[in-house]
């Protein structure tokens, strides 16, 4: 909500740093620049992957193949849609948030290893180039899951090999970033900030980073075997020469299930921050939220074969059902804790809060469908159908992307020094929420009725539902342009934000917007409780931050911040 | 300053205010449970026909999970709606909310109750699983082969299964030897046939990539894994025809690898046909098909036609051929191929071209088409095995396509 105080006359406010586009186009070891580089690159790939989704939904308006030239071209669409959304949008975007915010939240000047940080980002550029180059060499077409022998003997283009190399680079980038986060969080917290005094977003990044360093090497192993089978004549996955196709499935999913928590845990961290600030209330159950992130990280390693219920040894289905059911409990704790945070608060319907509320209502559906999928007899029917596509989009879009949007609206003022127009934000939310729900909810139904996934051709009786889904998807696609417009408008002519437009207690707000190169003016002292809203001392702290670092433009004046310095009004 | 910046220093709410009384909790709890049950009851059937014993159990499990999930959904969304209405910040109110950090009792409740719920779901699912897996005596066992992009179902004729009017000595020698051999004589069909009320087992083998065998009406699915044989069993309880679908991405024709309905409402491709009883099954399917194979036509072209109709090879998925009702759109049109084959590659007769295009399809690609056709090999044990006798018959038939 708008800031409510003005600096005392005569107080000297540091000038906010001016951003220059050229700063972001070259190598820099400043975590804030790297963070923006990650986020801007990731957002570009979000648009690319979204365009592919629009092509998929256009094709699925009819039950026959009439948009793409052949089935292979269609298979390439969803292969690249998923690969790009997972590896070039969500994972790097979350890394971008982490990069920008973690040092600031900890009062540090930068990450523990700034040079390594820059390297991790720049690995994404050749990875993205390889993914796109695949189109010129026979693009990958075996799905983002790349099961052999389809992805080995039966994929003759080189695009599948480029895909594997691109994922190798992205995996290295991910691991380097994770090491950086773990060391930064362990070693660079300020005096007085124990683990249980740090913001929940930092807990989320810590849990995510632990998953990354433990799981990603397995993906690297699987990719290496795939590349060797494709180019070096090995037979790891060729049964006719002693290989085994299930080895790929097991090793791939051993990484890829924890990967889904890599994609959603930082979103959980963003939720905690946004809900608390925009409801003006402490997070309910801080310890439970912190420890449940760790529990999810650990338990996430025990469930992988639930992706393989129809291909794995039948006797092992039940143990994986048990572990998959268990992981619902820490996730449920989080949802209830967030509801507890809202209860009794003072809820401001900023775009950030709207997307957080959208997350809560949509992610719960994804969680419920996830528990259903854990039930083996039901999963046998819906595995590899649109029911799974629906579930994954409820948790990845209704979950992660909504959280990313909430985070963008929340931290945009800090990063750019400008506000995003709230009315455009509300329009963006409305279009996204409606478009999202009607795109993905009907997919539960069409999957249960008998429509498999990864097809361009389907039984004619499913056409009506598919048309509804596609039209809603086009609306969802259009909603993205509202955000793009709002971002452009903000950068060119947005209201100046001031240091702490949301009156938040975490340390990233105790500096100008954007922060100076060294992050803080003087030595930052964290407020004793990052979520201590509702107390007199919190009020005084926030007043002090406004006094020291300046407030933004209000609706009733257009005077920019510097002119307030020394003025007596 | 005209703005309200009062902080709630007092952590206690006024008496009788916002604190939840037990009655409201009970009402909300009952509403949630009733609402969940209501959702599960009124949701129309979003399953295909419930045609197997397994389907009944799976559907009941789903209804239960929908009731539980519906209740949880109502709880979460109900709280959200309540919170949005009751706790929204009024215009001009810039105060904070109360500094409440948690409530141990509440947190234990919302840990333990979900744990109990998932325990119940796990136990119930386990019971359904055990019940589905308990094998009854198998009365009908068929071998299914998945290859890009069609299903073939292989039936076996042994001396015990001969059609009623047929005796061993009526058979020609090579056929009699096949029937009396250890494996019996094989014939294939594009459709899977069985009869009602008894468990059938399907063994699953792939010629190329991984596929998955899915019959939605039966609620059963099993992957076909390269290099392995897998199997699935189910008990149909309703006579009828049910679509069979491939549910594992297998390439460009993955979506085509499912049963379809042709122009004349005739079934094309993979369907499960459940006959009302064994007598009907034998009379309508097994005996006529067995007879075709036990007494094959002398004319190789007719024999070739019979082989193609029997769908041992997946040609129908990709090619158009009006004589057989094929409407595939992945590969070249085969109408009139008996004449056009001679014009494809200079120096090759129609016969030579057709043989080569089946044994080595990659040698010549018709312009506009990709190299997607499987190679049908001549040696038993190799992938996509097609014996020379079948190849001769098929080529003989294709050469008759001259309209």
Contact A138, A75 (CB under 8 A): no
Q: Where are the alpha helices (DSSP H) in A300-327?
A: 317-326
Q: How far apart are CA A467 and CA A486, in angstroms?
A: 30
Query: With bands split at pLDDT 50, 70 and 90, how would you rate the model's confidence at B4?
Result: very low
Residues B109 and B173 both lie in one domain? no
Q: How crowded is the C-beta side of A566, counted as CA atoms within 13 Å?
A: 4
- The whole model's pTM is what? 0.93
Residues B126 and B146 both lie in one domain? no
Query: What integer is the mean pLDDT of A29-53?
Result: 98
Which chain B residue shows the shortest CA-CA distance from A279? B97
Contact A380, B219 (CB under 8 A): yes
Are residues B7 and A149, on separate chains, in Cβ contact within 8 Å? no
Residues B216 and B278 both lie in one domain? yes
Query: With bands split at pLDDT 50, 70 and 90, how would you rate the model's confidence at A564?
Result: very low
* Chain A CB within 8 Å of residue B98 CB: yes
B100 CA: distance to closest CA in chain A (Å) = 6
* Chain B CB within 8 Å of residue A21 CB: no
Q: Is B309 within a domain?
A: no
Residues B42 and B61 both lie in one domain? yes
Q: Strands (DSSP E) along B112-199, which ranges?
A: 140-147, 150-157, 185-189, 192-195
Burial of A136 (0-12, 13-18, 19+ CB in 10 A): exposed
Are residues B121 and A325, on separate chains, in Cβ contact within 8 Å? yes
Contact A519, A484 (CB under 8 A): no
Q: Is A5 within a domain?
A: no
Q: What pLDDT score was predicted for residue A567?
A: 33
B275, containing H or E segment = strand B271-275
A405 CA: distance to closest CA in chain B (Å) = 19
Number of domains in chain A: 1
Contacts of residue A358, defined as CB under 8 A and 6 or more positions apart, other chains included, come to A398, A402, A429, A432, A433
In degrees rounded to 5, what are phi and psi of residue B367? -55, 135
Which chain B residue shows the shortest CA-CA distance from A368? B69
Contacts of residue A530, defined as CB under 8 A and 6 or more positions apart, other chains included, come to A105, A197, A198, A199, A200, A505, A506, A507
Express each pLDDT in A200-247 by its tens digit. Answer: 999 999 999 999 999 999 999 999 999 999 999 999 999 999 999 999
* Chain B CB within 8 Å of residue A487 CB: no
Are residues B73 and A365, on separate chains, in Cβ contact within 8 Å? yes
B327 CA: distance to closest CA in chain A (Å) = 12
Q: Is A8 within a domain?
A: no
Q: What pLDDT score was predicted for residue B329?
A: 79
Q: What pLDDT score was predicted for residue A556?
A: 52
Are residues B69 and A368, on separate chains, in Cβ contact within 8 Å? yes
Q: Which candidate, B287, B313, B305, B295, places its Cα nearest to that of B393?
A: B305
Q: Is B8 within a domain?
A: no
Range of the domain at B373: 315-399
Q: What pLDDT score was predicted for residue A8?
A: 55
Residues B256 and B212 both lie in one domain? yes
A152 CA: distance to closest CA in chain B (Å) = 10
Q: Residue B10: is its pLDDT beyond 90? A: no
Are residues B251 and A279, on separate chains, in Cβ contact within 8 Å? no
- What single-letter DSSP state applies at residue B238? S
Residues B381 and B361 both lie in one domain? yes
Q: Which residues of A touch B221 (CB under 8 A)?
A: 310, 380-381, 383-384
Q: Is A4 within a domain?
A: no
Percent of chain B exceeding pLDDT 70 equals: 95
A294, containing H or E segment = helix A286-299
Are residues B47 and A448, on separate chains, in Cβ contact within 8 Å? yes
Q: Residue B325: is its pLDDT beyond 90? A: no
Virtual torsion, Cα B45, B50, B54, B59, nearest 10 deg: 10
Q: Residue B109: is its pLDDT beyond 80? A: yes
Q: Is A141 within a domain?
A: yes
Contact B51, B217 (CB under 8 A): yes
Q: How far apart are CA A197 and CA A201, in angstroms?
A: 12
Q: Residue B220: is its pLDDT beyond 70? A: yes
Express each pLDDT in A152-192 by its tens digit. Answer: 999 999 999 999 999 999 999 999 999 999 999 999 999 99
* Chain B CB within 8 Å of residue A197 CB: no
Q: Residue A132: is its pLDDT beyond 90? A: yes
Report for A464-473, B94-103, B386-395: range of highest mean pLDDT: A464-473
Q: Is A9 within a domain?
A: no
Which chain B residue shows the shortest CA-CA distance from A374? B122
Q: Helix/strand/coil (H, E, C) string of A145-173?
A: CCCCCCCCCCCCCCHHHHHHHHHHHHHHH
Q: Is A350 within a domain?
A: yes
Q: Is B13 within a domain?
A: no
Interface of B with A in 289-328 (CB under 8 A): none
* Chain A CB within 8 Å of residue B79 CB: yes
List beta partners, residue B154: B143, B188
Contact A143, A78 (CB under 8 A): yes
* Chain A CB within 8 Å of residue B96 CB: yes
Q: Residue A62: is its pLDDT beyond 90? A: yes
Are residues B76 and A154, on separate chains, in Cβ contact within 8 Å? no
Q: Residue B163: is its pLDDT beyond 50? A: yes
Query: What integer is the mean pLDDT of A438-464?
Result: 97
Query: With bands split at pLDDT 50, 70 and 90, how would you rate the model's confidence at B183?
Result: confident
Q: Is A281 within a domain?
A: yes
Q: Which residues of B touch A456 (CB under 8 A)?
A: 255
Q: How crowded is the C-beta side of A127, counted as CA atoms within 13 Å?
A: 25
Q: Which candidate, A383, A289, A369, A300, places its Cα nearest to that of B72?
A: A369
When CB atoms are compared, the residue of B98, B107, B118 closest to A329 is B118
Q: What pLDDT score was predicted for residue B131?
A: 92
More confident residue, B326 or A13: B326
Q: Is B9 within a domain?
A: no
Query: With bands split at pLDDT 50, 70 and 90, how would you rate the model's confidence at B239?
Result: very high
Q: Is B190 within a domain?
A: yes
Query: What integer is the mean pLDDT of B192-213?
Result: 95
Q: Which residue has the tokens 């690969």?
A: A83
Q: Residue B234: is its pLDDT beyond 60? A: yes
Are residues A336 and B110, on separate chains, in Cβ contact within 8 Å? yes
Q: What pLDDT score was predicted for residue A36?
A: 98
Q: What pLDDT score was predicted for residue A559?
A: 35
Which chain B residue shows the shortest CA-CA distance from A71? B252
* Chain A CB within 8 Å of residue B382 CB: no
Q: Which candidate, B225, B161, B235, B228, places its Cα nearest to that of B201?
A: B235
Are residues B248 and A360, on separate chains, in Cβ contact within 8 Å? no
Crossing angle between the packed helical segments A31-59 and A463-493, to the nearest 10 degrees: 150
Range of the domain at A510: 23-564
A24 CA: distance to closest CA in chain B (Å) = 37
Q: How far apart are CA A354 and CA A432, in angstroms?
A: 11
Q: What pLDDT score was predicted for residue A555?
A: 58
Query: What integer is the mean pLDDT of B103-128?
Result: 97
Residues B144 and B128 both lie in one domain? no
Residues B151 and B290 both lie in one domain? yes
Interface of A with B in 451-470 (CB under 8 A): 452, 454-459
Residues B119 and B182 both lie in one domain? no
Q: What is the CATH number of the domain that holds B268?
A: 2.60.40.420
Q: What pLDDT score was predicted for residue B135?
A: 72
Contact B263, B227 (CB under 8 A): no
| Predicted ipTM of the assembly | 0.93
Q: Is B70 within a domain?
A: yes
Express each pLDDT in A329-384 by its tens digit. Answer: 999 999 999 999 999 999 999 999 999 999 999 999 999 999 999 999 999 999 99
Q: What pLDDT score was predicted for residue A123?
A: 98
**Residue length of chain A:** 569
In degrees rounded to 5, what are phi and psi of residue A418? -125, 155
Residues B66 and B198 both lie in one domain? no
A283 CA: distance to closest CA in chain B (Å) = 6
Q: Is A73 within a domain?
A: yes
Query: With bands split at pLDDT 50, 70 and 90, how would you rate the model's confidence at A561?
Result: very low
Boundary of a domain, candidates B295, B327, B354: B295
Q: Which residues of A touch B201 (CB under 8 A)?
A: none
When CB atoms are compared, the residue of A243, A347, A539 closest to B83 is A347
- Poorest-confidence range of A52-61, A287-296, B293-302? B293-302
Express each pLDDT in A227-240 by its tens digit. Answer: 999 999 999 999 99
Number of domains in chain B: 3
Are residues B101 and A283, on separate chains, in Cβ contact within 8 Å? yes
Average pLDDT, chain B: 89
Q: Which residue has the tokens 């994986």?
A: A320
Query: Is residue A166 reached through a cis peptide bond, with omega within 30 degrees of 0 on the bond before it?
Result: no
Q: What is the CATH number of the domain that holds A146?
A: 1.20.210.10
* Chain A CB within 8 Å of residue B23 CB: no
């Amino acid at each position: 909500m708008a800031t409510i105080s003005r600096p005392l006359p005569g107080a000297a406010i540091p000038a906010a740093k001016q951003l220059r586009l050229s700063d972001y186009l070259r190598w820099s070891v400043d975590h804030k620049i790297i963070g923006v580089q990650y986020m801007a690159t990731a957002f570009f790939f979000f648009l690319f992957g979204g365009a592919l989704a629009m092509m998929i939904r256009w094709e699925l308006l009819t039950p026959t193949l009439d948009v793409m030239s052949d089935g292979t071209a269609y298979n390439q669409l969803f292969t690249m849609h998923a690969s790009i959304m997972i590896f070039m949008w969500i994972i790097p975007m979350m890394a971008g948030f982490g990069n920008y915010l973690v040092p600031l939240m900890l009062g540090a000047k930068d990450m523990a290893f700034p040079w390594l940080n820059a390297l991790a980002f720049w690995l994404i550029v050749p990875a993205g180039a390889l993914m796109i180059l695949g189109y010129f060499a026979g693009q990958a077409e075996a799905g983002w899951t790349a099961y052999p022998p389809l992805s080995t003997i039966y994929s003759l283009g080189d695009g599948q090999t480029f895909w594997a190399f691109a994922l190798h680079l992205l995996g290295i980038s991910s691991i380097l970033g994770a090491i950086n986060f773990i060391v930064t969080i362990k070693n660079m917290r300020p005096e007085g900030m124990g683990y249980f005094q740090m913001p929940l977003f930092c807990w989320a990044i810590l849990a995510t980073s632990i998953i990354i360093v433990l799981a990603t090497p397995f993906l690297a192993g699987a990719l290496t075997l795939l590349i060797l089978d494709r180019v070096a004549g090995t037979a790891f996955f060729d049964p006719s020469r002693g290989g085994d196709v299930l080895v790929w499935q097991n090793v791939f999913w051993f990484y890829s299930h924890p990967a889904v928590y890599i994609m959603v845990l930082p979103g959980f961290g963003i939720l905690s921050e946004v809900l608390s600030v925009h409801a003006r209330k402490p997070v309910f159950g801080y310890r439970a939220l912190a420890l449940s992130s760790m529990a999810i990280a650990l338990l996430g390693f025990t469930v992988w074969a639930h992706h393989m219920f129809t291909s794995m040894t039948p006797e092992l289905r039940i143990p994986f059902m048990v572990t998959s059911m268990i992981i619902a409990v820490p996730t449920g704790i989080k949802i209830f804790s967030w509801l507890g945070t809202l209860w009794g608060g003072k809820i401001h319907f900023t775009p950030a809060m709207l997307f957080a509320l959208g997350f809560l209502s949509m992610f719960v559906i994804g969680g419920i469908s996830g528990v259903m999928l854990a039930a083996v007899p039901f999963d046998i029917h819906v595995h590899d159908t649109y029911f799974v596509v629906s579930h994954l989009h409820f948790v990845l879009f209704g979950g992660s992307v909504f959280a990313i949007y909430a985070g963008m609206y929340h931290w945009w003022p800090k990063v750019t020094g400008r506000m995003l127009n709230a009315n455009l934000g509300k329009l963006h939310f409305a279009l996204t929420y409606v478009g999202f729900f009607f795109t993905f909810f009907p997919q539960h139904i069409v999957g249960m009725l008998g429509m498999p996934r990864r097809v361009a051709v389907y039984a004619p009786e499913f056409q009506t539902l598919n048309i509804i889904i596609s039209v809603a998807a086009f609306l969802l696609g259009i909603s993205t342009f509202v955000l793009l417009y709002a971002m452009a408008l903000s950068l060119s002519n947005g209201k100046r934000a001031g240091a702490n437009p949301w009156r938040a207690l975490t340390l990233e707000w105790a500096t100008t917007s954007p922060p100076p190169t060294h992050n803080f003016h003087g030595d930052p002292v964290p407020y004793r409780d990052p979520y201590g809203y509702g107390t007199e001392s919190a009020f005084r702290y926030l007043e002090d931050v406004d006094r020291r670092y300046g407030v933004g433009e209000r609706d009733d004046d257009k005077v920019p911040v510097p002119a307030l310095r020394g003025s007596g009004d | 300053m005209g703005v309200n910046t009062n902080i709630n220093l007092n952590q206690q709410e006024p008496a009788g205010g916002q604190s939840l009384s037990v009655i409201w909790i009970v009402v909300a709890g009952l509403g949630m449970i009733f609402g969940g049950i209501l959702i599960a009851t009124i949701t129309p059937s979003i399953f295909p026909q419930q045609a197997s014993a397994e389907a009944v159990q799976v559907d009941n499990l789903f209804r239960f999970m929908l009731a539980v999930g519906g209740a949880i959904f109502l709880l979460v969304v109900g709280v959200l709606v309540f919170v949005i209405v009751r706790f929204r910040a009024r215009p001009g109110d810039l105060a904070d909310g109360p500094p409440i950090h948690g409530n141990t009792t509440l947190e234990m409740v919302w840990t333990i109750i979900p744990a109990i719920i998932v325990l119940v779901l796990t136990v119930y699912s386990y019971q359904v699983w055990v019940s589905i897996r308990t094998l009854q005596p198998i009365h009908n066992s068929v071998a299914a082969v998945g290859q890009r992009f069609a299903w073939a179902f292989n039936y076996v004729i042994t001396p015990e299964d001969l059609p009623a009017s047929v005796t061993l000595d009526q058979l020609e020698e090579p056929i009699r030897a096949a029937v009396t051999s250890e494996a019996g004589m094989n014939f294939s069909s594009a459709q899977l046939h069985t009869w009602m009320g008894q468990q059938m087992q399907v063994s699953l083998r792939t010629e190329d990539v991984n596929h998955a065998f899915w019959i939605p009406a039966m609620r059963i699915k099993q992957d076909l894994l390269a290099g392995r044989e897998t199997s699935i069993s189910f008990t149909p309880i309703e006579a009828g025809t049910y679509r069979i679908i491939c549910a594992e991405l297998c390439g460009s024709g993955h979506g085509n690898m499912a049963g379809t309905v042709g122009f004349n409402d005739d079934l094309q491709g993979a369907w499960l046909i459940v006959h009302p009883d064994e007598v009907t099954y034998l009379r309508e399917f097994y005996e006529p098909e067995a007879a075709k194979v036990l007494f094959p036509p002398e004319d190789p072209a007719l024999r070739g036609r019979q082989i193609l109709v029997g769908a041992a090879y997946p040609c129908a998925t990709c090619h158009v051929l009006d004589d057989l009702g094929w409407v595939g759109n992945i590969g070249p049109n085969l109408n009139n191929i008996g004449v056009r084959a001679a014009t494809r590659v200079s120096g090759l007769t129609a016969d030579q071209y057709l043989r080569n295009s089946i044994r080595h399809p990659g040698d010549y690609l018709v312009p506009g088409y990709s190299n997607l056709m499987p190679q049908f090999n001549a040696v038993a044990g190799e992938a996509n095995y097609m014996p020379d006798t079948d190849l001769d018959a098929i080529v003989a038939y294709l050469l008759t396509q001259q309209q």
